Amino acid sequence: MNKVMTSVFTGVAILFFWKSAELWHLETTFRNNGMSITFLGWELQSDVPAEKIPSYARAFFVCGSIAVMSAFIALFRRSSHEVESSVDK
């Protein structure tokens, strides 16, 4: 079960980091009045001004970091339970 959780958290982290990098790139090339921020097909915010894009990029980066930490916690939690069960035997 924890292998699945680790894989899911890692996949979600990759998606968040990908979106963060995409927004950082847009911030350097995008200079119009506004744009729509979407994630996995869902529109999160419409008409975001160009000066606000870095804050969205940082938010996606933070979410990705949290997902990576959750993956590590799930991975180490599994390892500690395996050690405890092998000690009990």
> How do residues 21-73 score in pLDDT, each as one tens digit?
988 887 555 556 677 787 888 888 777 787 888 898 899 999 999 999 998 88
User: How sure is the predictor about 87, in pLDDT bands with cuts at 50, 70 and 90?
Assistant: low
Domain ranges of the chain: 2-88
pLDDT of residue 78: 56
| pTM (2 d.p.) | 0.72
Task: Give the single-character DSSP code of 38.
Answer: E
pLDDT at 83: 54
Helix pair angle (2-29, 53-88), 10° resolution: 160
